[in-house]
Amino acid sequence: MHRMRAQWWLGLVLLGGGQAMARSPPAPPPACTAAEHRQFDFWLGHWNVLGGADGTVPQGSSRIERSDNGCWITEHWHGARGSNGTSLNAWDAAYGVWRQVWAGGDGVVLRLEGSLRDGAMEMHGELPKRGGGVQLQRIRWSPQTDGSVIQQWETSDDDGESWQTSFRGVYRRAAAAP
């Protein structure tokens, strides 16, 4: 009788232990849920990009999408004159900055970093110049009250003493396809 009771208890302990071992560990908290990960959401969407002195000349189109896991934003640029490129944008929590890596169809790779300042995303970087030295890059994306976004891209060849506009685009939401 004692032997049957001992076997029964041993079976119960093993069965319970097996169930405990079969349970999966608790799911980790969702990644990329901090408020900073949403600071660039104003740029998400399908856009027609206009430029020129009066902001009416077609420059191209851009599709900006958030990854399924919410950890990065990808831009797909198609210029009106055939240029193209892609950027990957992400909040780098370890360093407390936004980072962008742009790869253009012309082979240029630009690395930028920055943050949300006064309601606009501003990032800085540099590109090597052919004759030596670097050209500073500064890009600012400013959301407008009408839902558009203005991208102002500036460069400096004199260590930031003076800045020249390289590109100014007005991003207007593209009409939804029927």
Q: Break the chain into its structural domains and give their ranges.
A: 35-173
> Band of the pLDDT at 13, cuts 50, 70, 90?
very low
Is the model more confident about 11 or about 93?
Answer: 93
Left (φ > 0), alpha (ψ -120 to 50) or beta: where does 52 sit? left
Burial of 16 per CB tally in 10 Å (0-12, 13-18, 19+): exposed
Neighbouring residues of 60: CB distance < 8 A, sequence distance ≥ 6: 49, 77, 78, 79, 80, 81, 83
pTM over 0.85: no
Q: What's the confidence (pLDDT) of residue 125? A: 98
- The string of DSSP codes covering 12-77 is HHHHHHHHHHHSPPPPPPPSS-SGGGGTTGGG-EEEEEEETTTT-EEEEEEEEEE-TTSS-EEEEE
Pick the CATH number of 35-173 from 1.10.10.10, 2.40.170.20, 3.20.20.70, 2.40.128.20: 2.40.128.20
Find the mean pLDDT for residues 152-163: 96
pLDDT tops 90 at residue 105: yes
> Band of the pLDDT at 30, cuts 50, 70, 90?
low
Q: Which residue has the tokens 């800085």?
A: 124
- For residue 106, how many other CB atoms are within 10 A of its CB? 8
Q: Residue 44 corresponds to which tokens in the numbers above?
A: 């998400």
H or E element that contains 175: none
> Band of the pLDDT at 49, cuts 50, 70, 90?
very high
> What residue type is assigned to position 51 of the chain?
G
The pLDDT tens digits of the residues spanning 108-131 come to 999 999 999 999 999 999 999 989
> Band of the pLDDT at 55, cuts 50, 70, 90?
confident
